[in-house]
Structure 1
Amino acid sequence: FSWSEQMENDLRAGKSNAVTTNVTPWLRQKTESGDTIIGARAILNQGLEMADAVFFILDPQGNIAERKDAAKAFLRDGYWELQDVKVFKAGNIRALATDKVPTNLKPEFVQERLARPETIPFYELPRKIEVARSFGLKANAFAMQFDSLVALPFLLVAMTLIAA
């Protein structure tokens, strides 16, 4: 019983979507003020929420002008809403309760880029595959998940027939 409670707590805390160093998700967004590179320890809510997010804000020459570490980041319409933020700029550190980083990223793009295929309902996978390909992203993981779910009933029937 305690094992199942621990597993439930891990899932609710977002640890199931924790990323490893090999697959840390990084996004690069271009805005009028310069580029921003975004990374996160964990991706939640199909990519619309990030835990332990890092924002590197670059100046027009490509140098890091500012770094923002946020406990949580939420993609809103036209901006990232950061909570519990530490801002590193020119050797100074400031702590802020909330902050905003402008973005032109659309929620659909971020969802396709960061969502894990296992978290997407079966009936939404064909649309996700189509949208990912329209953004020029690889949809192999989504397609593999879809094909695996389609093949699962046949696999179970074959296993039952072999066992009988």
Structure 2
Amino acid sequence: MIGRTLGVYLAKRFLQSLAVIFFTIFGLIYMADFVEMLRRAGDVPNTPVSIVLLVCLMRTPSIAEQVLPFATLFGAMAAFINLTRKLELVVARAAGVSVWQFLAPPLVAALGLGAVVVMLFSPGAALMKAKADEIEAGIFRTQVSMQDSNLWLRQRGRDQQSILRADVAAESGLRLSGVTVYVFDLKGRFVERVDAEQARLIPGEWELKTALVTAPAVDPRRVEIYHLGTNLLPTQVAQSFVAPETVPFWSLPRLAADTEAVGLDSVGYRLRFQQLIALPSLLAAMVLIAACFSLKLSRMGGIGLMVLGGVGAGFVLYVSSKLVSDLGGAGMLSAPVAAWTPAIIANLLGGLTLLNREDG
């Protein structure tokens, strides 16, 4: 094993390079978000620039967290290239230090950094993002935010159960448009179908406006207000529209369980939870991949080719991660499989490549 002094030195150099790249990206994200927010704030009179600056600053950590794996990749590449150009790694390897020994400190640093991000940085970023969204909603309160939801709900009432579908939702799901309801009795037998232009959730029921009620062997009838009983509370429906990125890590399991208990979709929360748990492993994989593209620089020559290879590897990993995540979000893959597959495959490929180049 390498000595403590060399191990601390290697880990320190890696963390320094990572910090420079991460905070550079952080600053770029902040400036781009500030310019866009300032443009939107121009349509709202008397909006203080200080509030815009604060909102952007509170939103940036949540966005920057998503680029942390790639900052780790490029930070590790920069550290290894600099160590190789200064012949420090060459001397270490000449002294009998294997590639796995001098990679151990950066790997341990990456795992530790991932744990800190999951337990401290991510919850803080989620809370700031949620608060920033509240402030932003207050600034642009004159604009009604509607989102394409294609919402499906399974619910129970006092003497019936129903399945509700809506085209769009507003006010965190408390107001719906383009509503279709299939009503069943407590034994699961179909009773009637209700189509309404709008629906509003009030305690104990959905209030459907301008509804068309169709039942077997009965002529369709129109009613101005249709009262549909429900066991859903306004807070439960509103929670289902909370973005997973705005929920702290420690609250994700409870929120997922509460969402499932009322028949709502909790895949996003469970996927987010598993992705955060897999983050330290993914950061370690970035270090291995970076080593594949930077340790043989002195023999292969050409920094540009190596950097291009690392960028290509990062792009392929990003596309793959996004694809697997979308499959998990659509329910085609389980949350653990969708979250852990990119990290596991990246670790295996990075380790296999290093074994082939250094020990094979």
TM-score range, shorter chain: 0.5 to 0.7
Asked if the contact 2:179/2:196 (under 8 Å) is kept, the reply is yes
1:144-163 counterparts in 2 under 5 A?
A: none
Greater helix percent: which structure? 2
Partner of 2:178: 52
Partner of 1:18: 148
Shift in Å, 1:110: 1.3
Q: CA distance change for structure 1 residues 12 and 143 in 2, over 3 Å: closer, same or farther?
A: farther
Q: State yes or no: 1:101 paired with 2:231.
A: no
Shift in Å, 1:35: 1.1
Partner of 2:208: 82
Deviation track 1:98-127 (CA, whole Å, cap 9, x = no partner) reads: 1211111111221223x1529x9x5xx339
Asked if the contact 1:117/1:142 (under 8 Å) is kept, the reply is no
**Of 132-141 and 26-35, the range deviating more from structure 2:** 132-141
Shift in Å, 1:86: 0.8
Shift in Å, 1:128: 7.2
1:102-121 counterparts in 2 under 5 A?
A: 102-113=229-240, 115=241, 117=243
Measure, in 2, the Cα distance between the counterparts of 1:82 and 1:131: 31
Measure, in 2, the Cα distance between the counterparts of 1:95 and 1:26: 23
List gaps (5 residues or longer) in structure 2: 1-39, 41-142, 261-265, 275-360
Q: Give the count of matched residue pairs.
A: 127
Asked if the contact 1:112/1:128 (under 8 Å) is kept, the reply is no
Shift in Å, 1:31: 2.6
Higher relative contact order (CA 8 A, sep 6+): 2
Q: State yes or no: 1:38 paired with 2:168.
A: no
Q: Does the residue aligned with 1:112 lie in a helix, a strand or coil?
A: helix
Partner of 1:66: 192
- AA aligned opposite 2:207: E
Measure, in 2, the Cα distance between the counterparts of 1:45 and 1:74: 10
Q: Does the residue aligned with 1:105 lie in a helix, a strand or coil?
A: coil
Asked if the contact 1:117/1:141 (under 8 Å) is kept, the reply is no
Q: Does the residue aligned with 1:110 lie in a helix, a strand or coil?
A: helix
Shift in Å, 1:82: 0.8
Measure, in 2, the Cα distance between the counterparts of 1:46 and 1:111: 5
Measure, in 2, the Cα distance between the counterparts of 1:131 and 1:44: 24
Q: Does the residue aligned with 2:172 lie in a helix, a strand or coil?
A: helix
Q: CA distance change for structure 1 residues 97 and 131 in 2, over 3 Å: closer, same or farther?
A: farther
Q: Does the residue aligned with 1:47 lie in a helix, a strand or coil?
A: coil
RMSD value over aligned CA atoms? 3.2
Greater strand percent: which structure? 1
Measure, in 2, the Cα distance between the counterparts of 1:78 and 1:142: 31
Q: Does the residue aligned with 1:88 lie in a helix, a strand or coil?
A: strand
Q: State yes or no: 1:28 paired with 2:145.
A: no
Q: CA distance change for structure 1 residues 68 and 38 in 2, over 3 Å: closer, same or farther?
A: same
Asked if the contact 1:27/1:38 (under 8 Å) is kept, the reply is yes
Q: Given the two structures, how large is their TM-score scaled by the length of structure 2?
A: 0.31
Shift in Å, 1:46: 0.5
Measure, in 2, the Cα distance between the counterparts of 1:12 and 1:63: 39
Measure, in 2, the Cα distance between the counterparts of 1:105 and 1:45: 16
Q: Given the two structures, how large is their TM-score scaled by the length of structure 1?
A: 0.63
List gaps (5 residues or longer) in structure 1: 5-10, 145-164
Percent identical pairs in the alignment equals 23
Larger radius of gyration: 2
- AA aligned opposite 1:83: K
